Structure 1
Amino acid sequence: MYAPETTWTRAFLAVAVVQALVASSLEAYVLIAVERCFEPEVIQVARGHTVPMFFALFIFGFVYQLFLVYDALRSSSMIQIVGLCLYNLCLLLYAIFQPWEIKDALESLASNRTWDGKPLLTPGTDAWGDSKPALVALALVVAVATAMFYSVAWKLRSEFAWLVYKAINADLSMKKRVLILQSYVALLKFDMFFLLGFLAQNMIYASANMGKPEFGLSIGAILLVLLVIWLAVVCALRENKVGTLVIIVAHFAAAGFLCYKLTNIPRALFMFRAFAAITLVMTLCTIGMAVLCLVNFGKGVKTFTESQQRQSSHNLQETDYASPSYLYGYTPRRSPLDD
C-alpha cells in the first residue's frame, strides 16, 4: 500500500485531509442550523432543497478529492496534480457563491406559504443569521487550502519531473502521444465527479415531485455514467476503436442532455446552472481528448505503455494492472539520487 515518503507529497495529502475535515464540519453545521428552522412542508418546494444539495455536493466533492489526491501521489501524475488544483478552485467558487444562493433561498421560503397558509420557516427563527458565520468561514478555509494546493504543487513539479523523465524516455512524438493518453484518463476521473454531481443535484430538485420521470432517470443515469467512464478507460488503454467511438457518441449524448437542461433550469438556481455549464465544458473537452487518442491508436502507445509496465513490475512483488499507475502508462520508480 502506497504511503507518501517525501515532505511535499505528505503536505499535499495533509492539505486535502484537513480541508475535507474542516469544510465538511462547517457544511454540516450549516445544514443543521438551517434544517431546524424548516417546517416539514418545505420539502414540497424546490428551494427547500438548496442547503441539502450544497451539503451533499461538498461532502461528495471532498471525499472524491481525497481519492484523486491519493491516486495522483501514488502514480506521481503531475497532470492530475494540476487538475486537482483547478478542481479545488471550482470548489472555492462554489463556496464563495454559496452564501448568496442560500440567503436567496431562505428569503424566498420566508415569503411563501403552503396552500393552506402555513409558513415554510418556523416563526421566530433566524436561519440566515445562524448559518452566515459558518458559510464565511467555509469559503475562507477553501481559499486558504486552494492557495496551499498551488504552492505545494509547484514544489511537486520538480519532485515528479525526474520520475516522469525516467518513465517516459521515448522520442518527442511518442512523449506527446503518451501525454494525450494520460490527460484523457485524468480528465475522465474529473468527469466522473462533475457528471455525478450534476445528476445528484438534478435528482434532489426533481425529488420535490417524486412523480416526475426525471427522478428515476437520474438514478439510472448515475449507474450509466460509472459504466461509460470505466469502459472509456479500458477502451483507451486497449486501443479499441469501436469502443472508443461508442464512448464519444455517449459523451455527445451527455453534452446534448446538458444543453437541454441549461435551457430549462430556472434562472433562480444560479449555481445549478453554473455547475451544468462547467460539466458541459468538461464533457466537450473529454470528447476532444478522446478523438486525439483515437487518432493515436496503432502508433505504438499501447506497446510503449505495456513495456513500461513490464519493466516496472520487476521492482514490484506483484503487478497490479488495475492500479492507477497503469492507467497513466508508468509506475513511479525510485531515482538513484534517492539512494
Structure 2
Amino acid sequence: MAVERLMSTRAQMAFMITILVQGFVVLAMVAATFAFVNEHVDLNLVQYKTIPCYLALFILAEMFELLMAFDALRLRNVIQLVGILGFHLALVVFAAIQVHETHAALVATQPTSWINSGGSGSLWRKVLPYLIVAPVIIAVSWLSLLFWVRQLYMEFGWAIFHVVGANPAMKTMYQFYQVMICLLKFDFFAFVGVTMQLLIVVLQRNSAEFGLTIAAIPVVLFLLIGAGIAVQREIKWLMSISLVLMLAAETYFYKLVRFYEPASKEQYQTTRATLTVFTIVAFLLLFTTFAVGLRCFADFDKGLQESKLHGQSYKPVPTNSTLTKLDLLHGDYRLSFSQT
C-alpha cells in the first residue's frame, strides 16, 4: 500500500472540485443579489449595508474554506476535514439567516414604492430566488462532501501512525494538538467575520467603539499566531500568555448585550441575527480552544515536539503491504517507513 501524491486520487480531486463548484455558484447568487439591490437603492444607507456585508462575508468564507480544504489534504489531516464539514453546515445556517435579514433591509413596514413594498414585482421578490438558491446549493454540496470525507478518512486514517508510531498515548496527544491548530484557524475566521460586520455595517468611524474594534485586531492576531507557535514548539511562557489572553478575549461577549439593549438595538436592526450567531459561535470556539489548549499544555515535554515540527509533510510514503488497519490498531510492533 502507498500514499498517493497530493491531489492525485479521485477522492481528493472530487473533494476540492465540490468546494470550488459550490463556491462559484453561491458567490454568483450572492453577487446577483448585490447587483440587483445596488441598482435600485443607495447601499451607503445604514439599512442597506447588510447587502454588501453579505457579499463580503461569503467571499471570505468561500476563500477560507478552499484554503482550509487544500491545507487538510496537504497535511492528511482528518480532524480538519471534519472541521470543514462543520464549517460548511454553518454556512447553510448563515445563508438561511441572510434571507431574513435581507427581507428586514428591503421590506418597509410602511412602503412608499415598489422597491420596499415586498409585493409582487418588488425588489424583494426579484432577489428572493437567488437568496434561496444559496443555502440549497451549500446543503446539497455538504452531502457530497460528507461522502468524499469518508473516502479520505479511509485514505488518510493511517497517516498519524507515520507521525507518532503506534503508541496510543502519543496518538491521543497528537490528535489534541491537531484539534488545537484546527480550532485556532476557525477562531480566526469567526473573529474576522464579527469584526467585518461591525466595521462595514454598524459602527461609525468617529465612534469610540469603532476605535476599540480596530485596536482589538492586532491583539487577537497576536493571540492566535502566538498560541499556534507556542503549542507547536512547546514554548511554555508564550502558551501561558496565550491562554490568559483567551480568557480576557471572552469579555468581547459583551457585544451581545449591545445588540439588544434599547439604547443601541436600532443600530443593529438589519444584522442582529447574523451578529448574534457569529458572536455566540466565536465565544464557544474560543472557550473550546482554551480548554483544548490547557490539555495541550499538559502534554508539553512528553516527546511530541519533534512530531509536531516535522511530522506533517506530504510526501509519498511506501508502506508494508502486509500490514492491515487491524494490525495498526493493535500497535504490537514499530512501524518503519522510508521516503521515496
Same fold flag (TM > 0.5) = yes
Cα deviations by residue, 1:30-74 (Å, 9 ceiling, x for unpaired): 1111122213xx6342x3211111111111000111110110000
Counterpart of 1:221 in structure 2 is: 216
Could you say which residue in structure 2 is the equivalent of 1:28? 31
1:335 — aligned with what? Answer: 318
Q: Any gaps of 5 or more consecutive residues in structure 1?
A: 114-118, 313-324
User: SS at the partner of 2:259?
Assistant: coil
- Residue 305 (structure 1) shift: 3.5
Q: Distance in 2 between matches of 1:49 and 1:232?
A: 34
Counterparts of 1:128 and 1:287, CA distance in 2 = 43
Q: Matched residues in 1 for 2:215 and 2:17: separation?
A: 35
**Match 1:158 to one of 154, 159, 166:** 154
Alignment of 1:35-114 (within 5 A): 35-39=38-42, 43-45=44-46, 47-108=47-108, 111=110
Task: Specify the code of the residue in structure 1 equivalent to 2:49.
Answer: H
Q: Of the candidates 1, 14, 17, which is equivalent to residue 17 of structure 2?
A: 14
Unmatched 5+ residue regions in structure 2? 322-339
Post-superposition Cα deviations, 1:190-234, rounded to whole Å, max 9, x if no partner, equal: 111111111111112334x22212223323333333332111111
Q: Deviations over 1:130-175 (max 9, x none)?
A: 1101111111111111111111111111110132333331411111
Give the AA of the match of 2:318: S
* Paired AA for residue 190 in structure 2: F
3-state DSSP of counterpart to 1:265? helix
Any conservation in 1 of the 2:164–2:307 contact (CA below 8 Å)? Answer: no
Alignment of 1:298 onto 2:294: no
Deviation, 1:333, is: 4.0
Separation of aligned partners in 2, 1:304 and 1:166: 10
Tell me what 1:233 maps to: 228
Deviates more, 1:120-129 or 1:197-206: 120-129
**Partner SS, residue 4 of structure 1:** coil
Count how many residue pairs are aligned between Structure 1 and Structure 2: 307
Point out the more displaced range, 26-35 or 220-229: 220-229
Of 173, 194, 198, 2:194 maps to 198
Q: What one-letter code is carried by the residue in structure 2 that aligns with 1:275?
A: F
Contact preservation (8 Å) 2:114, 2:122:
no
Q: Provide the aligned C-alpha RMSD in A.
A: 2.5
Conserved? CA contact 1:53–1:204, under 8 Å: yes
Partner residue of 1:262? 256
Higher relative contact order (CA 8 A, sep 6+): 2
Corresponding residue for 2:243? Answer: 248
Q: TM-score w.r.t. structure 2 length?
A: 0.83
Shift in alpha-carbon separation, 1:150–1:158, aligned structure 2, 3 A: same
Match of 1:284 in 2: 287
- Residues 1:171 and 2:167 are matched in the alignment: yes
Letter in 2 for 1:263: V
Question: How far off its partner does 1:105 sit?
Answer: 1.9
TM-score (norm 1): 0.83
Offset of 1:3 from its aligned partner?
A: 4.2
Kept in 2: contact 1:163–1:335 (CA 8 A): no
CA contact (8 A) 2:233 2:308 kept: no
CA distance in structure 1 between the aligned counterparts of 2:184 and 2:110, rounded to whole angstroms: 43
Query: Residues of 2 paired with 1:271 and 1:305: CA distance?
Result: 36
Q: Which amino acid aligns with 1:281?
A: L
Following TM superposition, by how much is the alpha carbon of 1:177 offset from its aligned partner in structure 2, in angstroms? 1.0
| Residues in 2 aligned to 1:142 and 1:189: alpha-carbon distance in whole angstroms | 21
> Per-residue CA shift, 1:49-104, capped at 9, x if unaligned?
11111111111000111110110000000000000000000001111221112112
C-alpha distance in 1, partners of 2:66/2:236? 33
CA-CA distance at 1:287 after TM superposition: 0.6
| Contact 1:95–1:138 (CA under 8 A) maintained in structure 2 | yes
Closer, same or farther: CA 337–299 of 1 in aligned 2, 3 Å = closer
Q: Distance in 1 between matches of 2:124 and 2:114?
A: 14
Structure 1 contact 37–126 (Cα < 8 Å) conserved: no
Equivalent position SS for 1:260: helix
Helix, strand or coil at the partner of 1:43 = coil
Change (3 A) 1:304 1:59: closer
Give the Cα–Cα distance (whole angstroms) in 2 for the partners of residues 120 and 332 of structure 1. Answer: 60
Q: For the Cα contact (< 8 Å) 1:177–1:296, is it kept in 2?
A: yes
For residues 57 and 186 of structure 1, the distance between their equivalents in structure 2, rounded to whole angstroms, comes to 20
